[in-house]
A and B are shown apart, each in its own frame.
Chain A
């Protein structure tokens, strides 16, 4: 599903975010990407959804070389990928329903289809009763669930999560992890960047360890 061949990303001569990284992730795998701050986790994930282009090397997603994609093709890549961030990235001026519907509307889905899928996605994350609330009225855990619902509502092939539990307490983090496990159980490939060791001890899966832009560990439980 995801193949990286000798991928290097540098910002100028001095700053190298990723060095000669070669990784393969199979379809339906659940993979943790770990490492200290500045190890290159965010750069790694952002290259997978086309926000950053590698300086060298090739990246294949579902058999397509995304390093050769033009700006016009990137939106179609992103429709196959759901992304969840530490800071949720929700629109504060819109309701919970509108935030989730946004992802489907952006793909040009019909109105009746949108409402049906949004309701289902919010039900899965347990927030179907908060449809008309605004994100600011909800707790951090609830906001992250909306972000997950937005990422999953489009039935993505891949789900990328960049420190999704960074702003949440332990109990809420485990609830969120259940949602990722659910998505994984349905066949979605999940890549989750975290520096929280307790997560992959409690929910053991494959771990990719990064340090200073290098892949230093690829551990299967």
Chain B
């Protein structure tokens, strides 16, 4: 058994040495395919991260008819914060509202001089939990707040919310479509490259069958070779991606005018990197298996 395993590994390595051009072609094709799919995945997770940071803007502002007394405010905040969709409720007094407005006006703050402190209404800013930052979540919170007569106006950026949701849905759809296309293209190219490399070695497969090798005996070294090539491709793709990310994306994005403030692009997590390398192994293994079916016939 151990002798067999050693023999198979030896033969897989020897095959790779004997066919350096074919082997390199297969490794590079798989590496490019993996890097393409992984790049796309990286773009998707970063856009999703960006979208989720934008979703923090989703909040409901409830304006008071009359500023609540100190005794009623604390129970009201507690009540609102008990809503399952709500993360936090912050009271903004009339004074605080005016202060914020002045800050926003900046150099033009002088316009507000002499204006009554009661100009702006007091409000409750309700921030939602990430899972509730959508139309349904907002509607539920709004309908509950409407039941309270102390609020006379509710603002929740209805139009912005709809646009944002449409954008996220489009992103998901395009992501799935492009992701599926890339994956299919990668599988197609890899399986054809492996098929070509095996086609070039069909004599070897034929002779093996001729001298009485079993199907398993013929296939195992080729599968090992495919898996090994896949492993190398996965590591190459990961290395290439990591390097490009560090040298190009991180540096250039910081100087890119459209990049949102505070947006820090993320790279693949350790488990995602592991999955990428495993995908390489699987790609090499399955690509070889499907191609071998065509050439090994006993």
Contacts and interface: CB of A to CB of B under 8 A. Distances in A.
A162 to B, nearest CB: 12
Interface residues of A, number: 26
A103 B211 contact: yes
Given A102-B208, A103-B211, A75 B298 contact: yes
A76 B212 contact: yes
A111 B4 CA distance: 10
A102 B236 CA distance: 33
Interface string B193-233: 00000000001101111111111010000000000000000
A201 interface: no
Given A71-B298, A105-B7, A78 B210 contact: yes
Nearest to A92: B203
Contacts of A108: 4, 217
A93 B210 CA distance: 18
B298 A106 contact: no
Decide if the interface of chain B is mainly helix, strand, loop or mixed. helix
Nearest to B210: A83
Given A89-B203, A93-B19, A154 B212 contact: yes
A136 interface: no
B213 A75 contact: yes
B18 A102 contact: no
Contacts of B206: 89
A79 B212 CA distance: 5
A74 B211 contact: no
Interface in B162-216: 203-204, 206-215
B3 interface: yes
A6 to B, nearest CB: 26
A83 B210 CA distance: 8
Contact of B214 (A72, A89, A110): A72
B212 to A, nearest CB: 4
A130 B205 CA distance: 24
Given A75-B209, A89-B207, A106-B208, 6 more contacts: A75-B212, A78-B209, A89-B210, A90-B207, A106-B211, A111-B7
A91 interface: yes
A136 to B, nearest CB: 13
A89 B203 CA distance: 8
Interface of B: 3-4, 7, 18-19, 203-204, 206-215, 217, 297-298
Contacts of A94: 18
Contacts of A110: 3
8 A-B pairs with the lowest CB-CB distances in the bound complex, closest first: A106-B213, A79-B212, A78-B212, A103-B211, A71-B298, A93-B18, A75-B214, A75-B212
Nearest to B297: A71
Nearest to B208: A106
B207 A102 contact: yes
A94 B297 CA distance: 23
Contacts, number: 59
A167 interface: no
Contact of A106 (B3, B18, B212, B297): B212
B234 to A, nearest CB: 27
Contacts of B297: 71
Contacts of A77: 212
Contact of A107 (B18, B209, B212, B298): B212
B211 A102 contact: yes
* Candidate in B3, B4, B204, B212 with the most chain A CB atoms within 10 angstroms: B212
A89 B207 CA distance: 7
Contact of A103 (B203, B204, B212): B212
Nearest to A103: B211
Contacts of A72: 214-215, 298
Contacts of B207: 89-91, 102
A154 B3 CA distance: 20
B217 to A, nearest CB: 6
24 contacts: A49-B210, A72-B298, A75-B209, A75-B213, A75-B215, A78-B209, A78-B211, A78-B212, A79-B211, A79-B212, A83-B210, A89-B203, A90-B207, A91-B204, A91-B207, A93-B204, A102-B208, A105-B7, A106-B217, A107-B213, A108-B4, A110-B3, A154-B211, A154-B212
Contacts of A76: 212
A9 interface: no
Nearest to B15: A93
B203 A150 contact: no
B149 to A, nearest CB: 83
A90 B214 CA distance: 19
B295 to A, nearest CB: 14
B87 to A, nearest CB: 64
